[in-house]
Structure 1
Amino acid sequence: MSEPVRNPSLFQCCAAATSSLAGVLRPRPIDQRFLRSLTDAGLPTPERTVRVRALAQVPRSVPTAAVVEGVFTPKRIDSSLTSFVVEHPEAAFVVDPSYCVDAEHRAIAQLPSLLRPAVRPPADTIPTVTALRAETDLPALDFALPTHAHWDHVCGLLDLPGLPVHLHSVEREWVTGKPVAPVGGVRDALLDRPVVEYDLDGPPVLTFARSRDLFGDGSVVLVDLAGHTPGSVGVLAHTARGWVLLAGDAAWHALQIEKVRQKAGFPGLFVDDDRELTFKTLHRLHLAQRVIRVVPTHDHAAAQHLVTARREAAEPLA
């Protein structure tokens, strides 16, 4: 049975409309004081390398100003529901299993009606399970690791029964701890499967305050990207071509990180759990991008870079 839906109030709808209009005319400026306060704790010292591949997905053209507040050039950018596979010598796992078969009825129907048109992907969007099967050289998956628990980052699990999920303890409490799921959160995908909780109990990495070394060898490190949801994380991976950060929805597109622009008020006010903290996380990503490649889950062009990179780096893992 589907979970009950939490619908936005009339006040929230009015606030989103007002915020969107204000953001068009006067987008929120960079917080220079906060930016100067950030320190770089440096990168881990990795003992191994991993492979990161972006699974096949179709793009969806969207107005730039709907993603990057107050930005109109280019007029449109490509978004997508990309999933990623990380191959470590000890395990292979899928990051953000995004889309399921028949998502319209199994996931999107659980969202508030106001949001459905804004988030509905193209009809030919590729389910994660289909994209996985197309990767003929892919090792068997050991687990899934969503960056957060919104529907478009976990509903692909519905087609992967029994696959264990590694989930930040803060995120699990956020999505399951109340009688009604938060806006955008879908619980069905987490039912009837092992869920391995973890905490970000490691030291600062780059500009991020907390971390977790997933394999204890510095090759895959989870970092704190809270704001979009309380337990949002990024997956920092050391590849043969350098460091890559899978940033989930801390930003929807690289332009947000480059310009430090928050999401437009609609749908941003509905999908960002804490807009203030989300904006601060953008500042952290803005500084970090100088030394690592940041890949937002919904940035189709950024994901395509990983497709090219993996073709050029086929050496054995070490």
Structure 2
Amino acid sequence: MSALRQVPRSVPTALIVEGLRQPRRIANSLLSFVITHPEATFIVDPSVCLDVDSRAVAELPAVLRVAVRPPADTVATITALRERSGSGVDFALPTHTHWDHVCGLLDLPELPVHLHRREHDWVMQGSVAPVGGVREALRGRGIVPYELDGPPVLTFTTSHDLFGDGSVVLVDLAGHTPGSIGVLAHTATGWVLLAGDAAWHTDQVDLIRQKAGYPGALADEDRHEAFRTLHRLHAVKDRVAIIPTHDHIAAQRLPA
């Protein structure tokens, strides 16, 4: 498992972690991860497309665009993949379907996507999309749906064994979106959980703090369920390394 190259930005802690004022600023970035398994190499959260402002951010409400617009030097997923040595990727696996976890697919039109069926139905059904910047990235491509129909794992109520060997297990992290999942992978240094946006920063997990009301209340689909999921993460934090997709420092613990 490795994190693709990305440029961090310094953001006010008070906009990320509810009620936390120190340190005053923390590093935040739009991360993507590559996992290599004997059966396949895949990307988790293809986060940024080329020309992201016009192709994805423009579809967001103005009140949200102000908070989430990426800096100009943000590295597109396709660019970071081309820099990576080794083979290409066989499929994408988003932790959830918000623009900054799927819009990198716009530059990878032939890449299949493994997607939690509940999440797919939430974002693709109906005449009006529940969130912006997502449908175009998923429309017309190969979708491999899966269910979380496996047993509880650690503190998580349902699961899906991706390859059937226990090395990569998808777990339920609902709340931020209805079908949010985490990717629990066995690595050379132990278990790692890619937690998507169940938390934006590990301080939330350690301190059991929700996302800040703005923009968190606009981002979480079910604030109460998201808080329950955060408690599950806190309960397991000493057994697995938890990496939120936007926590730049936490991701640096992974191999380059």
Q: TM-score, normalised by structure 1?
A: 0.79
> What is the CA distance between 1:184 and its match in structure 2?
4.5
1:292 matched to 2:237? The reply is no
> What is the CA distance between 1:195 and its match in structure 2?
0.3
| Bigger relative contact order, structure 1 or 2 (CA pairs below 8 A, ≥6 apart) | 1
- Paired with 2:220 and 2:74, the residues of 1 have a C-alpha distance of 24
Q: Indicate the SS of the match to 2:49.
A: coil
1:247 matched to 2:187? The reply is no
> What is the CA distance between 1:60 and its match in structure 2?
1.0
Partner of 1:113: 62
Q: CA RMSD in A?
A: 0.8
Partner of 1:41: none
User: Any gaps of 5 or more consecutive residues in structure 1?
Assistant: 1-51, 312-318
1:159 matched to 2:107? The reply is yes
| Residue of 79, 85, 94 corresponding to 1:130 | 79
- Paired with 2:231 and 2:81, the residues of 1 have a C-alpha distance of 34
* Length, aligned pairs only: 256
Please show how residues 12-31 of structure 1 align to structure 2 within 5 Å.
none
- Paired with 2:133 and 2:125, the residues of 1 have a C-alpha distance of 12
Partner of 2:119: 171
Q: Which amino acid in 1 is paired with 2:111? A: L
> What is the CA distance between 1:209 and its match in structure 2?
0.2
Identity of aligned residues (%): 66
| Residue of 66, 74, 77 corresponding to 2:23 | 74
Work out whether residues 124 and 135 of structure 2, in 8 Å CA contact, stay in contact via their aligned partners in 1: yes
| Residue of 219, 222, 225 corresponding to 1:271 | 219
- Paired with 1:252 and 1:184, the residues of 2 have a C-alpha distance of 19
Q: TM-score, normalised by structure 2?
A: 0.98
> What is the CA distance between 1:245 and its match in structure 2?
0.2
Partner of 1:260: 208
Please show how residues 58-73 of structure 1 align to structure 2 within 5 Å.
58-73=7-22
> What is the CA distance between 1:252 and its match in structure 2?
0.2
> What is the CA distance between 1:287 and its match in structure 2?
0.9
Partner of 1:55: 4
1:210 matched to 2:158? The reply is yes
After superposition, the C-alpha distances for 1:77-122 in whole angstroms (9 at most, x for unaligned) are 0000000000000000000000000000000001011110100111
- Paired with 1:150 and 1:248, the residues of 2 have a C-alpha distance of 10
Q: Which amino acid in 1 is paired with 2:74? A: T
Partner of 1:47: none
Q: Indicate the SS of the match to 2:92.
A: strand
> What is the CA distance between 1:265 and its match in structure 2?
1.1
1:101 matched to 2:53? The reply is no
Q: Indicate the SS of the match to 2:144.
A: strand
- Paired with 2:14 and 2:89, the residues of 1 have a C-alpha distance of 37
Q: After the TM superposition, which of the residue ranges 222-231 and 112-121 deviates more from structure 2?
A: 112-121
| Residue of 67, 88, 92 corresponding to 2:41 | 92
User: Any gaps of 5 or more consecutive residues in structure 2?
Assistant: none
Work out whether residues 95 and 147 of structure 1, in 8 Å CA contact, stay in contact via their aligned partners in 2: yes
> What is the CA distance between 1:136 and its match in structure 2?
1.9
After superposition, the C-alpha distances for 1:16-70 in whole angstroms (9 at most, x for unaligned) are xxxxxxxxxxxxxxxxxxxxxxxxxxxxxxxxxxxx0100000011110110000
After TM superposition, which residue ranges in structure 1, 4 or more long, deviate above 6 angstroms? none
- Paired with 1:63 and 1:71, the residues of 2 have a C-alpha distance of 10
Q: Indicate the SS of the match to 2:252.
A: helix
| Residue of 144, 148, 152 corresponding to 1:196 | 144
> What is the CA distance between 1:264 and its match in structure 2?
1.1
- Paired with 2:95 and 2:20, the residues of 1 have a C-alpha distance of 26
Q: Indicate the SS of the match to 1:114.
A: helix
